[in-house]
Structure 1
Amino acid sequence: MFEKFRQYFGAQSESIPMSFVLGFYVSLVVKRWWEQYKLLPWPDTLALFISAGIPGADETGRLMRRNIVRYAILAYVITLQRVSLRVKRRFPTWQHVVDSGLMLESERKVFEKMDGKSPMSKYWMPLVWATNIINRARKEGLITSDHIVQTLLVELSDIRRRLGALIGYDTVCVPLVYTQVVTLALYTYFVAALMGRQLVPPASGSTSKYEPDVYFPLFTALQFCFYVGWLKVAEVLINPFGEDDDDIELNWLIDRHIKAAYMIVDEMHEEHPELLKDQYWEEVVPKDLPYTVASEHYRRHEPPCSADHYKVKAEDAVKA
C-alpha cells in the first residue's frame, strides 16, 4: 500500500509546473522592485540647471535657487511618507517636517488649509510653488531665456511623473491571492515530493540493486532549498521601501539629496577652480594615460568589430 501511495504522489507531484509558476512570480516581483528604484528622482540635474539658469550672487537669486530645490525635495519626502514606513516614522506629522527645515511654518499652514478642503495627497504642491518661482524669475529678468524656463519645467515635470508613479506602484500592488497561490503550490509540491520520493527496497532480481543505497534524498533537499529560497527572495523584494535590511535606504537618500542640492545651487554656485593649462597642453592630445604596475596587464587596444577584418573582393567593390 505504501509503495502505491509513493508511486501516486511521485507521479502527481511532477504535474505541478513549479519552475514556471515560481519563476514568473519572482520575475514579476524583481521587475517591480527594480522599476521602483529607478523611479526615485535625484535632484542633482535640476540643481545643475537651476544653478546655470538663475545666475548671480544677490539675495533674491539665492533665495529662488534654494527654495526651488527645497520644494523638489519636500515633494520627494511627502511622497515617501505615504509609501515607506521608515520615512513615515521619521516624519510622522507636518510639524516634524517643519522641524527638519524642509518646510516653513507658513507652508505648513497652507498644507493644513488645503487638507481641510480636500484630503487627497498633495505631494505636487511644492512643485507648483517651484514652478511659480521659475515664472517669477523669468518675469523679473533673473532667467534670461524662455528655453531655460522650459528646461527647468521639463525637469520638474519629470520629478512629478516619477513621484506619481511611485504612489501608483504602492496603491496597485501584486494581488495577495497571487502570492498565496504561489506559496500554496510550493508547499503542496514538496508535501507530495516528501511522499513520492521515499526510498523503498528494490524487488528481488531487479536491476535497481546496483544503484547506491541512499537514505537521504539529497537532490530533493537541494531543490527545496532553491525553491524556498527563491520564494523568500520575492517576499523580501515585494516591498522595496520596507524595513528589511535589504530594502532601499530612503532616509539616507533624503539627507544626501538636500545636502547635494544646496551645495550645487548655493555653496558651489558660480565657483570653479582657477583656469590653468592642463598636463597635456603642449602635446594637445595625450598618447596614452599612465597605468600602474597592478593594472598594466589590463592595457588593451581598441576592440575590433565584427566587420573590421572583412575584405571585399575587388570585383565586388566596383560600382553597380
Structure 2
Amino acid sequence: MTVTYTARVANARFGGFYKLLLLWRGSIYKLLYKEFLVFFLMYLALSITYRFLLNENQKRSFERVSLYCNNYANLIPVSFVLGFYVTLVVNRWWNQYLCMPMPDRVMCAINATVHGSDERARMYRRTLMRYCSLSGLLILRSVSTAAFKRFPTIDHVVEAGFMTRFERKKFENLRSSYNKYWVPCVWFCSLAAQARNEGRIRDDHAYKMLIEELNAFRGNCGMLFHYDWISVPLVYTQVVTIAVYSYFLTCLIGRQFLDPAQGYPGHDLDLYVPVFTLLQFFFYAGWLKVGEQLINPFGEDDDDFETNFLIDRNFQVSMLAVDEMYDDVPVLVKDRYWNDSEPRPPYTAATLFQKYLPSFQGSTFDMALAKEDMQFQQLSDIEELNEETLSSQFPLLSRLLQGVGASPLASSAALSAAFIPPGSRSSLIKRSTNNVSGSYNSLYQENPQDLPLPEPLAQADEEQPSTPMFYTESQTFFAPSKEAVPSLVDCIQTSQDGETTA
C-alpha cells in the first residue's frame, strides 16, 4: 500500500522532517538494512584480518594494495551514472501513473450522451461502462502482479462480473496471439453506434465526443502496455549496478585504517568504524534502491501502485455515475448568496485571520515615484528632427565618408541622397512648443520655393549647381539641389483635424 505522509509535512516548521525519519514502512532502512549489514561485516572481517592475522610482510603488502585502491576508486563515476539513472526512473514512474486508465471522463460522457430512462437505455449505459472497465482490468492484470494474483484467469474475470459467459466465448474465439485488452473497446464502439442508430445518442457531435473519450482511455491502456514492454535499457541498469557495487568493493580495501606508524598520507588516525564510508554507502546504495523500487511500480512494494484498489474504485464509481445518478439532479433553487453582490463565504475561528489579509494587487502596487517623475510631458515639447542628434547619429560613418573620392565634390549623387542637411527645408517639419495647431499651418504660409536657403547651401549652389553641399564643424554633407527640396515638402499632407502625415 502506498505510504502517504503529506499531512505530516503540510506546514514547514523546525524539525518537521524529523518525524519522518522514524517511519519504517516504505523507508530506506527497510530497503537497505540487509545490504548495509553485509557491507559492514565484510569491512569488519578485512579489518580484523589485517590487524591480527597477517604478519609484517603481509601487512605491508595489504597496505600497498589499500593505498592503490583508495587512489583509483574515485575514477568510477558513481554520482554521474547513478544521478542520471534515478532521474530517468523517477520520470518514467510518474508518467506511468499518469497513464493509469481512469474512467471518469468516459462515465461523464456516457451520462451526458446516452439518453433514456427505460430499461434498455439503462442497459446501454451500464454495458458501455462495463466494457470500459473490462478493458482497464485486462491491461492491469497484464502488467501488475497484484492484479494478476486477484484475477489469474479469464474465469475469475467472468466470475467477478466484468464479463459475461457469452462475451468470454467471443473473446476466446477471436484468434490472435497478441494481448487482447483492446477487444472491449471495439465492442464499446459497436454498441455506441447501435445506440446512435436507435436515437439514444441524439446527434453526431455527442457520438463523436463519446468515441474521443473512449480513445483517450484506450490510449492510456496502450501506454501502460508499452511501458511494461519497453523497459529501461538493460545495459543502463547493468552499468549503474556494476558501478555502485564495484565502487564499494574497492572501498572495502581502500578505506581500511592503516598503521599510523608507517606514516602513510591521510592515515594519521586509527579508528575501527569507518563512519563516513558507511554514510557514503548508505547514500549511494540507497539511491540505487530508489531506482530499483520505482523501475516497476506494478509490483507489491510499499510504494507501488495500488492496482486492486483502483479496480474497485473505478468500477464502483463508474457504474454509480451512469446508472443511479443518471437524470438524478437536485431541485433547482436560489443559492444562499442570491441577493448579495459581493458574496463572502464564512470563516471558522481557526481561519478568521485570513479574512483580513490584503489581496494581491500586483508586484508594482506599492511602488513609489517622485512627484516630478509623475508629471506628464507634452509630445509637442519633443523635437522630431533635432539638428544636434542628427549630426551625431553616424559619427564613425561620417569620419569615413570624409575620405571618399578625390574631393568632397566628386561623391556620387546616390550617396548624397542618404543624408539630409540640418539647415534644409525638411528641418522645418517640427512642432512648435507654443502653438501646436499653429505650427502645422505655418509650414504652408509661404511658398517653399521662396524660402531662403541656408548659407552653406547657397554658397555650394553657386560653386557647384549640380551637387550643392554644406559644412559643419567636423563633417561635410552633400545636400540635394534646389529642384529636389520642394519634393520633400510636397510629400507632407495636412488632414482636416490638424494632424500632419508624411
TM-score (normalizing by structure 1) = 0.89
Whether the aligned pair in 1 keeps the contact of 2:77 and 2:243 (CA below 8 Å) is no
Letter aligned with residue 351 of structure 2? S
1:125–1:5 CA distance, 2 compared to 1 (3 A): same
1:164–1:208 CA distance, 2 compared to 1 (3 A): closer
Aligned pair partner of 1:294 in 332, 335, 350 = 350
Aligned pair partner of 1:171 in 224, 229, 236 = 229
1:225 aligns with 2:282: yes
Whether the aligned pair in 1 keeps the contact of 2:257 and 2:269 (CA below 8 Å) is no
Whether the aligned pair in 2 keeps the contact of 1:202 and 1:208 (CA below 8 Å) is no
Letter aligned with residue 146 of structure 1? D
Aligned pair partner of 2:108 in 32, 36, 48 = 48
Q: Displacement, 1:276?
A: 2.2
Whether the aligned pair in 1 keeps the contact of 2:73 and 2:251 (CA below 8 Å) is yes
Whether the aligned pair in 2 keeps the contact of 1:51 and 1:264 (CA below 8 Å) is yes
Q: Deviations over 1:120-178 (max 9, x none)?
A: 21111111111112212222111112111111111111111111111111111123333
Look up the match of 2:479: none
1:183 aligns with 2:241: yes
State the secondary structure of the residue aligned to 1:301.
Answer: coil
Letter aligned with residue 312 of structure 2? D
Gaps of 5+ in 1: none
Look up the match of 1:263: 320
Matches within 5 A, 1:9-48: 9-48=69-108
Larger Rg: 2
Gaps of 5+ in 2: 1-59, 383-502
Whether the aligned pair in 1 keeps the contact of 2:260 and 2:269 (CA below 8 Å) is no
Matches within 5 A, 1:141-156: 141-156=199-214
Bigger drift between 10-19 and 211-220 goes to 211-220
User: How far apart are the structure 2 equivalents of 1:205 and 1:37?
Assistant: 57
1:158–1:208 CA distance, 2 compared to 1 (3 A): closer
User: How far apart are the structure 2 equivalents of 1:88 and 1:318?
Assistant: 79
1:155–1:112 CA distance, 2 compared to 1 (3 A): same
Letter aligned with residue 52 of structure 1? A
How many equivalent residue pairs? 316
State the secondary structure of the residue aligned to 1:268.
Answer: coil
Tell me: higher relative CO, structure 1 or 2? Use CA pairs within 8 A at least 6 residues apart: 1
Q: Which of the pair is proportionally richer in helix?
A: 1
Q: Displacement, 1:277?
A: 2.1
Q: Displacement, 1:21?
A: 1.1
Look up the match of 1:137: 195
User: How far apart are the structure 2 equivalents of 1:235 and 1:206?
Assistant: 39
1:4 aligns with 2:64: yes
State the secondary structure of the residue aligned to 1:267.
Answer: coil
Look up the match of 1:101: 161
1:200 aligns with 2:254: no
Q: Displacement, 1:308?
A: 4.5
User: How far apart are the structure 1 equivalents of 2:255 and 2:113?
Assistant: 71
Q: Deviations over 1:286-317 (max 9, x none)?
A: 1x322222233455433354455557965799
TM-score (normalizing by structure 2) = 0.58
User: How far apart are the structure 1 equivalents of 2:260 and 2:64?
Assistant: 14
Q: Alignment identity in percent?
A: 46
State the secondary structure of the residue aligned to 1:247.
Answer: coil
Q: Displacement, 1:102?
A: 0.6
Q: Displacement, 1:217?
A: 2.0
User: How far apart are the structure 1 equivalents of 2:377 and 2:233?
Assistant: 61
